[in-house]
Amino acid sequence: MKKAAKVILVLMTILTVIYASVVVYVSANSSGHNPLYAAFEYESEAPPNDWYTPEQLGIVQIIEYGENGSYWLHVAIEDEPFPFQAEQPVFQYKSKFYQISQLWVTPGLPEQIRKWQIPTMGVLGTGWLFAGVLLFKKRERG
């Protein structure tokens, strides 16, 4: 019984490390994720000297968020004409000026991996529960 418990613990540890390694590897190496951008109202008394139209910046979609004085735009950009993180350009939208800022996001796993994530976690969780029950019963017996 003691040997079986050790084998189960080692096996569960190995399977958990493999699972975590695959998730981290796929997350780190998944491609095709474009950066997300937000645009916040330009904070200055005077209008900016240099500003662009949304079309000049490659903006293909603007989604408005916020209420009660907290207002921002989610900006979808097809092709960046220059590095937005360094420049943070200003553009005019609905008679107001907005400054672009890159959002830091962690992309989700690709769909083909995500559909196996919950069943795999369920199997690992069940295995750890079984290992815990086995060790608890072993302790009761002495």
Q: Where are the domains of the chain?
A: 36-103
Q: Beta partners for 102? A: 37
Across all residues in the chain, what is the average pLDDT? 81
58 near 79, Cβ under 8 Å? yes
**Beta partners for residue 62, in sequence order:** 75
Higher pLDDT: 108 or 131? It is 131
Residue 23 has pLDDT above 90, yes or no: no
Percentage of the chain with pLDDT > 70?
83
pTM of the model: 0.50
CA distance 35 to 76: 9
According to the model, what pLDDT value does residue 68 have? 64
Q: List, edge to edge, every strand of the sheet that includes 96-103.
A: 59-67, 70-77, 36-41, 96-103, 90-93
User: What is residue 99's DSSP assignment?
Assistant: E
Give the count of beta carbons closer than 10 Å to the beta carbon of residue 128: 16
pLDDT digits (tens, 9 = 90+) for 68-127: 656 778 777 777 666 766 778 888 988 889 888 777 665 667 777 778 888 999 999 999
